[in-house]
Chain A
Amino acid sequence: MWRDAVLVAGKDLRIELRSRVVLHQVLPFGVLVLLLFAFALGPEHGPLRQAAPGLFWLAVLFAGVLAVQRSVAVEGGEGTRDGLRLSGLDPAGIFLGKTVAVVVELLVLEAVLAAGVLLLFGAGVRSAGLLVLASLAGTAGMAAIGTLYGSLSAGLRVRETLLPLLALPVLAPVLVAGTRAWQLGLGTGPSGGSGPWVAMLLVFAAVYLALGVLVFGPLQESA
């Protein structure tokens, strides 16, 4: 399973390196969302800095949906899904591999967006470790949900509209917990313990990674 995961992740990342769709289209979109937030909230740094953690996670969520769409589209070519099914790779490995590829892409995106939040919104860092930990855990959960729902809606003509409707409500806990953790990490919100939030992100990621490993096989049989 692990070897297959590495193979699939390597394949997806190689495709990304050669096509640069996420880098050239999804990443600028994420930055654009940050700019649009600033237009919506006004030019003062105060409110922007206050809202920075939530805006960051919202931008990640929206860009994440696009990254998942791309990850599904990669398998959309004629016979690609059949090829993947016939390749003898473990479905759980395929799931983990595709998830890891999305995680890597999103982490790059998050690094850029974090820089954007710091530079454009004038936020300061209080605990860099907390920011990184929360981003890692939150992104893993997000990518797991995205890959699961992405494969669920793969091959459907209404995929583009259906995927956000399915995935975004389920990702609400990531938004809540990620935002609280980032508030503490950036020092913009009320102080408190960051433990529960990081724990929640980790549990969320673990639960959906496990669920994906279990049900991805049956999902691949159909379609």
Chain B
Amino acid sequence: MSAPAPPSPARRPPRRALVGASGLAGAVGLGVTVWLGLWVTPPDVHQRDLVRLLYIHPPIAWVALYLAFGLAGVASLLWLWPRTRARLWDRLAASAMEVGVVFTALTLLTGMLWGRPTWGVWWVWDARLTSTALLLVMQLGYLALRRVPADPDARARRSAVAALVAAVDVPIVHFSVDWWHTLHQPGTVLNPELDAKVHGAMAWTLLLGFVSVTLVFVWLLAERYRIEALADEAADAGLEAALEERWAEAGATAQAQAPAGVGS
């Protein structure tokens, strides 16, 4: 029924199709979320139309703070652990961190857009905001470290340690800023009851938002991973080609010299 094909290309298409499908589903889901969020769901009693940010801000924050950063941390740990050490984990950590930076920046951006009309200020020194901002700087540091040209193994080792240090630090930052507030001024500006008041069409829209943003993340992550793997392949191929060229050159000079040697 199916035509015989070489094994490696035959294995690739289904996975690529799955990745593409998740991207498409994420895009369609996001479109529907926007439609539901802007036109179908009712405005909130207190927040009015501002509540519509609820459908995108928490999903983006969930991807940025837990999924992407958590994945990068776990993958780094698995790379550092000698028994599970594989290039896969290094690539996964790098991809998750890089895609995560975009989501962290979006979390801060949508949060600030929401904060300005709700709280009257763009920024408050709340535990969540402060630790997210520091997380963004740490992620940028990680990416800067990765950009330093180095042998892939050394780079993976450095990056994994940096990711681990940051992963341990973020909860400590969160606690420290939290205590800083609770010990000196009671109550934070963020309203934790907000989530409890969500119901009906709003809950479904929020759920769809979570699913769609997660699918978009998965799609970006898979594509980024593929690019990383291709870059590794290209580097290896480049090295081999350069080696072959040198060998060929050496062979050519040897051949050119041999007859001359005989003739003289």
Contacts and interface: CB of A to CB of B under 8 A. Distances in A.
Interface of A: 145, 148-149, 152-153, 156-158, 162, 165-166, 169-170, 172-173, 176-177, 180, 189-190, 192-193, 196-197, 200, 203-204, 207-208, 211, 215, 218-219, 221-223
A222 B151 contact: yes
B179 A208 contact: no
A152 B179 contact: no
A152 B157 CA distance: 9
B176 A176 contact: yes
B27 interface: no
B157 A219 contact: yes
A221 B230 CA distance: 27
- Secondary structure call for the B interface: helix
Contact of A176 (B138, B144, B161, B180): B180
Contacts of A197: 179
B138 A156 contact: no
Contacts of B183: 180, 192-193, 196
Contacts of A149: 162, 165
Contact of A177 (B138, B162, B176): B176
B179 A215 contact: no
13 contacts: A149-B162, A152-B162, A166-B144, A166-B162, A169-B141, A170-B165, A170-B169, A173-B172, A200-B175, A208-B168, A219-B161, A222-B154, A222-B158
B140 interface: yes
- A interface secondary structure, majority: helix
A156 B144 contact: no
Given A215-B80, A215-B164, A222-B158, A152 B176 contact: no
B184 A190 contact: yes
A218 B80 contact: yes
A172 B151 contact: no
B166 interface: yes
Contacts of A190: 184
